[in-house]
Structure 1
Amino acid sequence: MLTRIEDILATLVAFPTVSARSNLELVDWVARFLSDAGFSVTRIAAEGEPKAGLLARFGAGQGGTLLSAHTDVVPVEGQRWSVEPFALTPRGDRLHGRGTTDMKGFVACVLALAETLRATPPARPVSIALSWDEELGCRGIPQMIDRVIPTLGRPDLCIVGEPTLMRLGLGHKGKASFRATCHGTAGHSAMAPRFTNALHLAADLIAALRSEQARLLREGAQDAAYDIPCSTVHAGRMQGGVALNIVPDLAEVLFEIRHLASETTEEILARITADLPAGVEITPTGAYPGLESDPATPAIAAFAALLPDPAPVKVSYGTEAGFFAARGIPTVVCGPGTMDDGHQPDESIARDQLALCAAILARQLRG
């Protein structure tokens, strides 16, 4: 099985599905692969982009397992790779290439198992969901999620295969991102006090973000299962102005909120904006829900029993899991590798992680 997984992973890595590019060649290949394996396949085209996702199902009846992944990977520009990013390169017990950990290794395990189901059909349905643009803030899955249950039925469990070293991930924070456009008035810098400096407005916003972060650290909700136990705010980009001797009339700040399940984006944003001066316009640019799954849910408890370490963890990064959970589907995050290797130059995954993933998924699908 591991040899077959590596063969499939080599094919997947060779598709340069960076979020800025199309993923259609990969989706076409996977759709043919799954159709040949006996799956019914439904393609979902992205709105206004040359991209797509797919939903696939094998078997009849109710329930079963849904295996979910994204097809896009992060860019390689600006990183110093010692191997070709879009070719699978073995080195010792590891396989290198963009997406090996995040998260084509999981997809390769799923596809290798998928082609075995016709010979030994599972007792319950097996479904697969592949999305696009997860790396851009989960932009693809919102266009797919309403079709999941009508197309695939309601699964007993959804496994989102982001890298957790095959630990049981039951939670992560939600995220919302924003663009703040700060409107000032232009003028000669020699008479700066007569004009409204857009960069000053942007600085006021950043000061408010810092103040809210300090408040969240001091008195916000806490969850010790996370490396950073509270909700967080972060300004990632600020720009404005055209010349030193001109008071800037426009500035922009990109910022985000990552929140615990017990807090909401709305309440955090309200505190940030409460005392901002006029001229700061804030526009949402993306969001995804958090995840807070119950380990006592029967389908989750049964899956946990298959893992070498059933103790649940929470992950620091975001996933698409919250979209499935919001539809009432018991959902976990569990996949091979670790995010410490994701998004890095010479990204890689250990062969034993792929073997462990395949073995656990085989028990889950045939249980």
Structure 2
Amino acid sequence: MTPKLTTDAIALLKKLIETPSFSSEEDQTALLIEDWFQNYHIDYKRTENNVWAINKYFDATKPTLLLNSHHDTVKPNTGYTKDPFMAIVEDGKLFGLGSNDAGGCLVSLMATFVYFYDHKDLNYNLVMVASAEEESSGPNGLNSMLKIIPKIDVAIVGEPTLMQLAIAEKGLVVFDAKVKGTPSHAAHPNADNPIYNSIKVLEWFKDYKFEKVSPVLGEVKLTVSQIKAGKQHNAVPAEVDLVVDVRVNDCYTNTEIVEILQKESPCSSIIPRSLRLNSSSIPKDHALVKAGIALGRATYGSPTLSDQAVLSCPSLKLGPGDSTRSHSADEFIYISEIEEGIELYIRLLQEIL
């Protein structure tokens, strides 16, 4: 069964690549995923553009394992030399938008779900969710499914990790900050120019260190990523707007990060946009992690954000492909990575199911 599943998974990925599926516009790729489940005679459901299914012998008395990856993509950047919507195979590489992030992971997990779908007497129930709006952290993605699907006890989130075990992931808080001053005509003296005032604020952000360092995720990463001020050359503005991107380790909650920055930062105001994208992790002694280590996989902490951020249960990020290729020009995944991914997902779950 596995060779056919692998062949079918690669064929599905080629179709997904050739079907545009920007965040919140995934209706056509959702149809392709529905076709996959239909072809394998799997009873599935669709909620918005999320397509999901549970194993044939679901038992509410058992814990539930979520298999999840997403079928939306970012928009292609201007650096592409190949058609981003054409599935091109060259030298063992499958090129195309979403091939690496996260199409390879998605079809590999779907193949794995099919493999175990009609097994009896599993230790865990399985729920497969091919989710939407991951790239935009939109309201109709995996977060919206958690009240619809069965309660989840543990999850594998498919993102490109070279099939290594990302046992923790940084959270994210984005802040809108202001540095205020006195507006004036540019021709007159002004000792309270907010643009000059922002220099010491920017220096503060550049040098600031949060005390707690995670053994897995390292330091909290704080970055001023946007700045905006003024509308004309001869007028000093009243304020400077900053956007601050904070990648949160597992030593802090997002709420604690907000409290610290609102107390200590020298901004006139600093307001978080959202607190829902928390850091996530799974204990190193969890059966899933131990099974992965036994298969020769290494553990690490991931600096990038995924749908793990909306889960409250232990979760493992694991998938074929390389995160450094995500959102890049001429994105690709090796065919061999998908083959290995399906094999390793199945071997991993065989150890716990």
Q: Give the TM-score, by structure 1 length.
A: 0.81
Q: Does the Cα contact within 8 Å between 1:171 and 1:314 map onto a contact in 2?
A: yes
> 1:206-242: per-residue Cα shift (whole Å, max 9, x none)?
2331232xx33xxx2223544xx31110011111211
Residues 1:85 and 2:81 are matched in the alignment: no
> 1:35-85: per-residue Cα shift (whole Å, max 9, x none)?
44343433333xxxxxx323321222233532111222222133x222111
Pick the aligned partner of 2:159 from 150, 159, 162: 162
How far apart, in 1, do the equivalents of 2:200 and 2:142 lie? 33
Q: Does the Cα contact within 8 Å between 1:208 and 1:273 map onto a contact in 2?
A: no
Pick the aligned partner of 2:221 from 208, 222, 232: 232
Residues 1:259 and 2:259 are matched in the alignment: no
How far apart, in 2, do the equivalents of 1:112 and 1:146 lie? 22
After superposition, residues 145-156 of structure 1 pair within 5 angstroms as 145-147=145-147, 151-155=149-153
Tell me which residue corresponds to 1:107: 106
How far apart, in 1, do the equivalents of 2:88 and 2:219 lie? 39
Residues 1:41 and 2:32 are matched in the alignment: no
How far apart, in 2, do the equivalents of 1:126 and 1:292 lie? 20
Tell me which residue corresponds to 1:128: 128
> 1:282-308: per-residue Cα shift (whole Å, max 9, x none)?
242464111221121234424543x3x
Tell me which residue corresponds to 2:69: 69
Tell me which residue corresponds to 2:299: 312
Q: Per the alignment, in what secondary structure is the counterpart of residue 191 of structure 1? A: coil
How far apart, in 1, do the equivalents of 2:199 and 2:145 lie? 38
Pick the aligned partner of 2:326 from 326, 337, 342: 342
After superposition, residues 284-363 of structure 1 pair within 5 angstroms as 284-285=273-274, 287-305=276-294, 307=295, 309-324=296-311, 326=312, 328=313, 330-363=314-347
For the structure 1 residues 225 and 26, does the alpha-carbon distance in structure 2 shift closer, same or farther, using more than 3 Å as the test? same
For the structure 1 residues 278 and 262, does the alpha-carbon distance in structure 2 shift closer, same or farther, using more than 3 Å as the test? closer
Q: Offset of 1:339 from its aligned partner?
A: 0.7
How far apart, in 1, do the equivalents of 2:115 and 2:219 lie? 44
Moved more, 181-190 or 25-34: 181-190
> 1:78-135: per-residue Cα shift (whole Å, max 9, x none)?
3x222111221111111111111111101122333445556x5354343212333322
Q: Offset of 1:178 from its aligned partner?
A: 1.5
Q: Offset of 1:271 from its aligned partner?
A: 4.2
For the structure 1 residues 32 and 255, does the alpha-carbon distance in structure 2 shift closer, same or farther, using more than 3 Å as the test? same
Q: Offset of 1:343 from its aligned partner?
A: 1.5
Q: Per the alignment, in what secondary structure is the counterpart of residue 336 of structure 1? A: coil
How far apart, in 1, do the equivalents of 2:111 and 2:288 lie? 23
How far apart, in 1, do the equivalents of 2:98 and 2:142 lie? 22
Tell me which residue corresponds to 1:49: none
Identity percentage over the alignment? 19
How far apart, in 2, do the equivalents of 1:291 and 1:138 lie? 19
Q: What letter corresponds to residue 322 of structure 2 in structure 1?
A: T
For the structure 1 residues 33 and 6, does the alpha-carbon distance in structure 2 shift closer, same or farther, using more than 3 Å as the test? closer
How far apart, in 1, do the equivalents of 2:25 and 2:169 lie? 28
Moved more, 68-77 or 333-342: 68-77
Q: Does the Cα contact within 8 Å between 1:178 and 1:286 map onto a contact in 2?
A: no
Q: Offset of 1:142 from its aligned partner?
A: 6.4
Q: Offset of 1:203 from its aligned partner?
A: 4.0
Q: What letter corresponds to residue 163 of structure 1 in structure 2?
A: P
Q: Does the Cα contact within 8 Å between 1:65 and 1:159 map onto a contact in 2?
A: yes
Q: Offset of 1:7 from its aligned partner?
A: 0.7
For the structure 1 residues 274 and 110, does the alpha-carbon distance in structure 2 shift closer, same or farther, using more than 3 Å as the test? closer
Pick the aligned partner of 2:8 from 4, 7, 32: 4
Q: What letter corresponds to residue 20 of structure 2 in structure 1?
A: P
Q: How many residues align?
A: 342
For the structure 1 residues 115 and 277, does the alpha-carbon distance in structure 2 shift closer, same or farther, using more than 3 Å as the test? closer
Q: Per the alignment, in what secondary structure is the counterpart of residue 340 of structure 1? A: helix
Q: Per the alignment, in what secondary structure is the counterpart of residue 147 of structure 2? A: helix
Q: Per the alignment, in what secondary structure is the counterpart of residue 343 of structure 1? A: coil
Q: Offset of 1:181 from its aligned partner?
A: 4.2
Q: Offset of 1:250 from its aligned partner?
A: 4.3
Structure 1 residue ranges without an equivalent (≥5):
46-51
Q: Give the TM-score, by structure 2 length.
A: 0.84
State the Cα RMSD in Å.
Answer: 2.9
For the structure 1 residues 89 and 99, does the alpha-carbon distance in structure 2 shift closer, same or farther, using more than 3 Å as the test? same
How far apart, in 1, do the equivalents of 2:321 and 2:267 lie? 48
> 1:131-181: per-residue Cα shift (whole Å, max 9, x none)?
333223475546425325xx23445x4111111111121112221111224
For the structure 1 residues 276 and 234, does the alpha-carbon distance in structure 2 shift closer, same or farther, using more than 3 Å as the test? closer
For the structure 1 residues 277 and 6, does the alpha-carbon distance in structure 2 shift closer, same or farther, using more than 3 Å as the test? closer
Q: Per the alignment, in what secondary structure is the counterpart of residue 285 of structure 2? A: coil
Q: Per the alignment, in what secondary structure is the counterpart of residue 199 of structure 1? A: helix
Tell me which residue corresponds to 1:48: none
Q: Does the Cα contact within 8 Å between 1:38 and 1:58 map onto a contact in 2?
A: no
> 1:283-339: per-residue Cα shift (whole Å, max 9, x none)?
42464111221121234424543x3x2332222212222433x2x3x4211100111
Q: Offset of 1:253 from its aligned partner?
A: 1.3
